[in-house]
Chain A
Amino acid sequence: MKRFWPALLVIALVAGRVDAQDPRLTRLDRRVQAQVTILVDSARSLGIPTEPVVDKALEGAAKRAPNDRIVNVVRSRFRELVAARGALGSGALDAEVIAAADALHAGASAQVITTLRTQRPSVPLTIPLAVLADLIARGVPADTASSAILALATKPATDAEFASLRDDVERDIAKGVPPAITTAVRTRGVPPGARVPIATDATTPGRGTTTTASPKP
């Protein structure tokens, strides 16, 4: 009987391991599935939401992306979630962590997220962080968008006001107003015609820095 115990243990562990995998991951290539499962297990052990990891893998599979690409993107997503959790601190809501990861992915800094948490320790940050990610994704330089969000948080603004800023900026951009200008105007109330910050690094939309333009002679 003693000879069988190691075999029993192996069979039990293998069976438990296989069944513990998320059944949705069977849509992935086996190699990708194994890699993603490791990341999901790691996320679970770290206390960060696992759904974004699974979602990103499923999105890649649905879009028929190459296996290596899926693994790389999911790894990147995992790292962003870990960094987001670290920036927000323990006790953050899953939705906050996801929104913070989106903001990091867009180009925001972890420092901004931590500052935002410090400013609003007991208020959900999902909407402010989502608006931050949205603004950067629309082409607003990261530091301009960050300053706008931190300024509103200091006010302190409601979620509706954060969402209103995003809607206003999107509307202005659709009219042809540069993203950095509309964000600065909408946040600080800079009067039209005044000299305002503009993006100087436009190679990557939303990831540039903002400086004050020098007046042309």
Chain B
Amino acid sequence: MHESDEVIEHVAMTLRRERVGVSADFDARVMERVREEARQAAGTGVWRWMTRSRTVRVSPLAGLALAAGLAGVVALAARQGDSFRTVAPSRTVAIAPPDVPAQRMTEFMFVNPSASRVAIVGDFNDWDEGVSPMRRMSDGVWAITIPLAPGRYHYTFVVDGTTWVADPAAPPLKDDFGPPNSVITVGEATT
């Protein structure tokens, strides 16, 4: 038996003979000391703080609020993306980057003295008759000038908001939806 074993045996016998009292918080103090030593052994710092696991309690109401906030952020990000995606280069009137084809001012004219209003609709304005109302000139001539990038566009005139009329100055093009369209091809600008 080693000397240390003898010492331990002696202590044990002493403890068995005489009951040693400990305070009620003895266990807690011991465990806190152990944790403190473990913390010191692992080091401190931001990384330690960030990687330490925590228990977070969230009420259902707070969870819903958090979800709504997250959805709002995602929706906002998607909207930002749309603002670039849905604007076609052909509709960009502002300064365009070098790789965007230059636009050409294209004039459309239509004769109808009895019309009270005429609009042009086509691939260049989302077929929305409110976007490009034509201007009444003399003798019942209606006109509008639209900047168009090189390409092929389908279009037609809308008279008084009800009647769709293909451009008489251009051959009609049979369309998938019934009323015929006209077509215009815009070429590259020549210098």
A residues lining the B interface (CB < 8 Å): 1, 4, 7-8, 11-12, 14-16, 18-20, 22-24, 50-52, 54-56, 58-63, 65, 69-70, 73, 76, 94-95, 98-99, 102, 124, 126-127, 130-131, 133-134, 137-138, 159-160, 163, 170, 173
Check A73–B128 contact: CB distance below 8 A. Answer: no
What would be 9 A-B contacts, judged by CB atoms less than 8 Å apart?
A: A4-B63, A4-B67, A12-B67, A51-B88, A54-B126, A58-B128, A59-B177, A124-B150, A127-B188
Residues in A whose Cβ lies below 8 Å from that of B56: 1
Which of B10-18, B20-28, B29-37, B178-186 touches A? B178-186
Evaluate whether A59 and B74 lie within 8 angstroms (CB atoms) in the complex, with A22-B86, A131-B185, A133-B152 already known.
no
Check A126–B152 contact: CB distance below 8 A. Answer: yes
Evaluate whether A62 and B127 lie within 8 angstroms (CB atoms) in the complex, with A95-B149, A130-B152 already known.
yes
Q: Is the interface of A mostly helix, strand, loop or mixed?
A: helix
Residues in A whose Cβ lies below 8 Å from that of B75: 15-16, 18-19
Min Cβ gap B55→A in Å is 9
Q: Name 8 extra pairs, CB < 8 A, besides A8-B67, A76-B176.
A: A1-B57, A55-B126, A58-B128, A63-B164, A95-B149, A99-B152, A130-B152, A130-B185
Option from A65, A95, A159 in Cβ contact (under 8 Å) with B177 = A65
Check A127–B187 contact: CB distance below 8 A. Answer: yes
Residues in B whose Cβ lies below 8 Å from that of A127: 150, 185, 187-188
